[in-house]
Copies of this chain bind each other. A is one copy, B any other.
């Protein structure tokens, strides 16, 4: 199964439906059933001690899995998160974060998979999330 959107199409789509986060997320790579996404971390994303906040990490996991799913099914803006389980494992460095999203099952009505989050320049994940998205009927 091949993806239905290119990197450029995805960036245009994200800018259009989420104008409030324009420039926040950069899609690094799209391949069948996977996506890599970088989040620009700024002062509003930081917590006491200089680490990245939990909600900011959740936002990246959520967007990365949304992008992996839309790349496979095409631009359906109303695809929505139905559940997310996230484990925070290491304190991230106070800089940009990378997400690697992987779809484990793509059905007609649900997309299920997981996302690993990394601090730039680190090989060990800072967080791991399992997500389910609901896909609107045609």
Indicate if the CB atoms of A89 and B105 lie closer than 8 Å: yes
Question: Across the interface, which residues of B come within 8 angstroms of A90, CB to CB?
Answer: 105
| A85-118 to B contact mask, C-beta < 8 Å, 1/0 | 1111110000000000000110001101110100
* Cβ-closest chain B residue relative to A21: B44
Indicate if the CB atoms of A114 and B112 lie closer than 8 Å: no
* Cβ-closest chain B residue relative to A90: B105
- From 1 to 47 in chain A, residues with beta carbon under 8 angstroms from any chain B beta carbon are 17-18, 20, 43-44, 46-47
Interface positions of A (Cβ within 8 A of B): 17-18, 20, 43-44, 46-49, 54-55, 58-59, 62, 77-78, 80-90, 104-105, 109-110, 112-114, 116, 124-125, 128, 130, 132
Indicate if the CB atoms of B84 and A112 lie closer than 8 Å: no
Indicate if the CB atoms of B86 and A83 lie closer than 8 Å: yes
- Option from B47, B54, B78, B128 in Cβ contact (under 8 Å) with A84: B54
* Distance in Å: Cβ of A24 to nearest Cβ of chain B: 11
Cα separation A75 to B130 with both chains bound (whole Å): 29
Question: Across the interface, which residues of B come within 8 angstroms of A116, CB to CB?
Answer: 104
Cα separation A6 to B128 with both chains bound (whole Å): 28
Indicate if the CB atoms of B125 and A104 lie closer than 8 Å: yes
